[in-house]
Amino acid sequence: MKFFVDTAEIKDIRDLHETGLLDGVTTNPSLIAKSGRDFKEVIKEICDIVPGPVSAEVAATDYEGMVAEGRLLAKIADNVVVKVPLTIDGLKATKTFSKEGIKINVTLCFSPNQALLAAKVGATYISPFIGRLDDINLEGMQLIRDIRQIYDNYDFSTEILAASIRSANHVTEAALAGADVATIPPAVIYKLADHPLTKSGLEQFVKDWKATGQSIL
Ligand code: G3P
């Protein structure tokens, strides 16, 4: 499973890149607003740090506007993935981009039918939002399982990018459900390494090692 980080904070991206765990980055207009930075500058900076796919979302909601903005975003760096919303105009733009060789992340997916449409028009990634479905008392993870089944039934190459991930359990469940990618907030990525038995076991090893009086170097 590939790990993308869902943030526009440069420091977080740099730190995670250094761990070797990061395969890519996703941003959205809310994350850009939170960063307080200029959108195109931030995307360029992220692309210079991370060689993997970096999703940059269009602001327009009409086909012509999305295509114009997406073409411009795609020129920022070779690893830019243009992110468009799952609307009819977004799907039309996806078809246009896929013919032009521009990679596309279709976002705000909340149903298997929406995912089917995105695959049919050549989306590179589909982004089902797990947490937001859980928020309204639906089972977000079931959507990942359904999309996996549909894409496998028809050999679609669109990658399932599990988004709106809020917890370490979401990551485990998305991996078990066969998501190709998870886009995860920075704090949740670090939590994946935590286990109380690892912590207490290491404390004991450090204590016992000190008692030997030895040094490896
Ligand atoms: O980037 C899209 C998605 O991951 C947003 O997550 O937590 O705002 O629902 P959230």
Q: Is residue 142 part of a domain?
A: yes
Q: Is residue 217 part of a domain?
A: no
CA distance 173 to 153: 21
Atom of ligand 1 nearest to the CA of 185: 4
Virtual CA dihedral for 174, 177, 178, 184, nearest 10 degrees? Answer: -10
Q: Is residue 32 part of a domain?
A: yes
In order, the DSSP letters of 176-216 are: HTT-SEEEE-HHHHHHTT--HHHHHHHHHHHHHHHHHT---
| Residue 182, pLDDT score | 98
Domain hosting residue 119, numbered range: 2-212
Shortest CA distance to 165 belongs to which of 2, 31, 6, 1?
6
CA distance 217 to 212: 14
Going by pLDDT thresholds of 50, 70 and 90, the confidence category of residue 147 is: very high
**From the CA of 9, how far away is ligand 1's center (Å)?**
15
Virtual CA dihedral for 171, 8, 159, 142, nearest 10 degrees? Answer: 40
Mean predicted confidence (pLDDT) in 198-204? 98
Mean pLDDT score of the chain: 98
Single-letter amino acid, residue 10: I
**From the CA of 203, how far away is ligand 1's center (Å)?**
36
Find the residues whose C-beta lies inside 6 A of ligand 1.
Answer: 6, 26, 28, 129, 131-132, 163-164, 166, 183
Query: Ligand 1, from 54, 105, 129: best to mutate by most atoms within 8 Å of Cβ?
Result: 129
Q: Is residue 40 part of a domain?
A: yes
Q: Is residue 37 part of a domain?
A: yes
Virtual CA dihedral for 73, 117, 110, 125, nearest 10 degrees? Answer: -40
| Residue 216, pLDDT score | 97
Contact 110, 131 (CB under 8 A): no
| Residue 84, pLDDT score | 98
Q: Is residue 126 part of a domain?
A: yes
Q: Is residue 29 part of a domain?
A: yes
Query: Ligand 1, from 5, 86, 107, 164: best to mutate by most atoms within 8 Å of Cβ?
Result: 164
User: What confidence tens digit (pLDDT) does each residue in 1-53 have?
Assistant: 999 999 999 999 999 999 999 999 999 999 999 999 999 999 999 999 999 99
Options 34, 40, 75, 83, the catalytic residue? 83
| Residue 177, pLDDT score | 98
User: What confidence tens digit (pLDDT) does each residue in 75-126 have?
Assistant: 999 999 999 999 999 999 999 999 999 999 999 999 999 999 999 999 999 9
| Residue 32, pLDDT score | 96
Q: What percent of the chain has pLDDT over 90?
A: 100
pTM: 0.96
CA distance 164 to 154: 26
Going by pLDDT thresholds of 50, 70 and 90, the confidence category of residue 145 is: very high
Look up the CATH number of the domain holding residue 89.
3.20.20.70
Atom 8 of ligand 1: nearest residue by CA position: 164
83 counts as catalytic: yes
The domain tally of the chain equals 1
Helix 63-74, helix 88-99: angle, nearest 10? 40
